[in-house]
Amino acid sequence: MKQLSLTESGFVKKPKATRRQIFLAEMDRVVPWARLCALIEPHYPKLGVKGGRPPKPLQMMLRIHFMQQWFALSDPGMEEALHDMPVMRAFSRIDAGEDAIPDETTILNFRHLLEAKGLAEVIFGEVNALLTEQGLLLRQGTLVDATLIAAPSSTKNADGKRDPEMTQTKKGNVWHFGMKAHIGVDADSGLVHTVIGTTAKVADMAMFEACLHGEEERAGADRGYDYPRLREHLADRGVEDWIAVKKKPGHPLSEWLAHLNHAIACMRARVEHPFRVLKRQFGYTKVRYRGIAKNAAQLNTLFALSNLWMARRALMAEVRP
Give Cα separations from 185 to 23, 130, 131, 150, 301 (angstroms). Answer: 24, 16, 13, 22, 16
Per-residue pLDDT averaged across 12-23, rounded? 83
164: burial class by Cβ within 10 Å (0-12, 13-18, 19+)? exposed
Residue-wise pLDDT for 18-65, tens only, equals 999 999 999 999 999 999 999 999 999 987 766 667 889 999 999 999
Q: What is the pTM of this model?
A: 0.91
Q: How confident is the model at residue 121 (pLDDT cuts 50, 70, 90)?
A: very high
- Which amino acid appears at position 8 of this protein? E
As a whole number of angstroms, the distance between CA 181 and CA 200 comes to 9
What fold does the segment set 139-290 form as a domain? Nucleotidyltransferase; domain 5 (3.30.420)
Residue-wise pLDDT for 218-229, tens only, equals 999 999 999 999
Contact 316, 133 (CB under 8 A): no
Of 70-79, 109-118, 159-168, least confident by mean pLDDT is 159-168
Residue 304 has pLDDT above 90, yes or no: yes
Of 82-86, 111-115, 245-249, least confident by mean pLDDT is 245-249
Average pLDDT over the chain, rounded to an integer: 90
Return the pLDDT at 126: 97
Question: Taking the domains of the chain in order of start, what are their residue ranges?
Answer: 19-117, 139-290
Return the pLDDT at 8: 45
Q: How confident is the model at residue 1 (pLDDT cuts 50, 70, 90)?
A: very low
As a whole number of angstroms, the distance between CA 188 and CA 140 comes to 8
Per-residue pLDDT averaged across 158-172, rounded? 88
